[in-house]
Amino acid sequence: MYQILTQDGNAKRGRLMTVHGVIETPVFMNVGTAGAIKGAVSSMDLKEIGCQVELSNTYHLHVRPGDQLIHELGGLRRFMNWDRPILTDSGGFQVFSLTALRGKIREEGVTFSSHVDGRKIFMGPEESMKIQSNLGSTIAMAFDECAPSRADRTYIENSVARTTRWLERCKKEMQRLNQLEDRVNPNQLLFGINQGGVLEDVRLEHARAIRELDLDGYAVGGLAVGESHEEMYRILDIVVPELPREKPTYLMGVGTPVNILEAVHRGVDFFDCVLPARNGRHGHVYTDRGKLNLWNAKYERDMEPIDAECGCPACKHYSRAYIRHLLKAKEMLGMRLCVLHNLYYYNHLMERIRMAIEEQRYNSFLRERLEGYQELGL
């Protein structure tokens, strides 16, 4: 199912064979929370810009349009016309991000007030697995609690212990659901999530506990939620070696190109982040020299593409000056072109990373990229 093709130091070049297609790793998953990338980007666009895996969110699709409806329509892939792999987040992050809309976290799960219409929604491990099974994604994520990184030790220890118990329930329920006759994808994979804030001993103990469950892949969650980059890298340095190397290793919600390069160096090979799409919607675009702000007046007469070496739809056809005009005129096309460019940049950065690992030159590629980004900054 998962194969390490080659390694360069800790960096691994892998391949995950799934029922919905092959995923070449390291990979960046393009985030379409509600079944679409924000910025008027379609599933056909995603193919053109080199997306291998689309990521959607369990909670948001459960709220609207409803996972049962999507199941009746043939699953999320058919619903959004996407014939490649999909990973669904479990809804666990909403336990962290929607604190104003949720009740107390209990052993059974969490009750939310819908951000759409205020109705009460209960979600626990079994409910999350059922929703993801209805969606029929390629990879389902276990339901967990992403505790605040600065929470006190007692809170984090109790949260992590509960997350482990929830993971055991997720595995049991996923096995049950995959045996049902009406499942969209009876071969759904399950990834578990390591938590523990920035407490090294808690992280280590949790990694050692969950690796015993022999899951399809393992994620490091609860990072990029307020801690420094140095703290993130420190946690990766101690956690990733404790997770099964022969399984995919996923760093959730991270990050900048530098974060990705540093994490690959430490053995991570799955990534996702809203950053390229979000920054694109605000006219901030990525290049090998760093990030450009197209709102800047110096681009008013600049007829060069965003990046002369880029093959994305924006760079092949339009100038910085024109895209800046679209942004200032509040034309949706400006936002769309910037999002397409950024996702193309991330997807093809991963392609270059894979090639560098294959050619045993990842360390020099890492140094080259870190030096390049310093010119304009990220």
| Placement of tokens 């681009």 in the chain | 299
Residues labelled catalytic: 89, 272
Specify burial of residue 83 (Cβ count, 10 A radius: 0-12, 13-18, 19+): exposed
Q: How many angstroms separate the CA atoms of 337 and 327, rounded? A: 10
Q: What angle is formed at CA 347 by the lines to CA 87 and CA 329, rounded to 5 degrees? A: 100
Rama region for 255: left / alpha / beta (φ>0; ψ in -120 to 50; rest): left
